[in-house]
Amino acid sequence: MKDLKSSILMFITFTVICGGVYPLAVTGVAYVLFPREAKGSLMADTSGKVTGSSLLGQPFSSPDYFWPRPSATTDFGYNPMGSGGSNAGPTNPDYLKVVGERVKALRATGITGPIPSELVQASASGLDPHISREAARIQIPRVAQTRGISRQDLSKIVDDFTSDRQLGFLGEPRVNVLELNLKLKSLNQRRSSGGN
């Protein structure tokens, strides 16, 4: 059976080309051209210790940090080992209750105006590192108060961690919550060490 022999040999040949040569070639070139991106866009503090990836969000619930979007990853929110969304349907009573509770928690911090929907609805990956400008803006009074910095100063820091639309027109403007919170923490450290 000539075609059976060809089948097996083709399978092996394509496995070598598409499963061996191709991924190794991409890895090799990527390491040369974009080493930081290829390795996960990891961030490190001044001592070189990894503090996270700028692409993956982390969970925050303390009032002195900006809060990210809700996350439905397995076990706990923002678990990179269990990416995924809530998969809750729009009429699911349990889901509607949970969203109601999230809104209540935000209102308890003094927010009275409209709340951007993404701040109470879980992302698709559960690792979404971003919130909208508006979602950051309504959190400024809380964070400013707990950290004892002025709203204007905090507002400027938020702007520093806001990216505009890519190339000026693609996607949405967004604030990277982890990067912003890392900055807040480093400011505090500098202040407390300066006081000593």
- Within 35-74, the residues that bind other proteins by CB under 8 A are 37-42, 49-53, 55-56, 58-62, 65, 69
CB of 9 to other proteins, least distance (A): 4
Select from 61, 188, 67, 191 the least CA-distant residue to 136.
67
> Smallest Cα–Cα separation from 161: which of 139, 184, 145, 138?
184
What amino acid is encoded at 74 in this protein? T
Q: Confirm or reject binding of residue 105 to other proteins (CB under 8 A).
A: no
Dist CA 120 CA 122 (whole Å): 7
State which of residues 108, 167, 193, 195 lies at the interface with other proteins (CB under 8 A).
167
Tell which one of 46, 47, 108, 113 touches other proteins (CB under 8 A).
Answer: 113
According to CB under 8 A, which one of 46, 47, 75, 192 is a site residue for other proteins?
A: 75
CA 44 to chain CA mean position, Å = 16
Residue from 128, 139, 154, 161 in contact with other proteins (CB under 8 A): 128
Across the strands, what pairs with 43? 52
Q: Is 13 in the site for other proteins (CB under 8 A)?
A: yes
Rule CB under 8 A: is residue 148 a binding residue for other proteins?
A: no
For 150, the token pair is 């002025």
CB of 67 to other proteins, least distance (A): 10
Q: Among 148, 182, 195, 196, which residue sits at the site for other proteins (rule: CB under 8 A)?
A: 182
Do 116 and 106 meet the contact criterion of CB atoms below 8 Å apart?
A: no
Find residue 50's DSSP bridge partners: 44
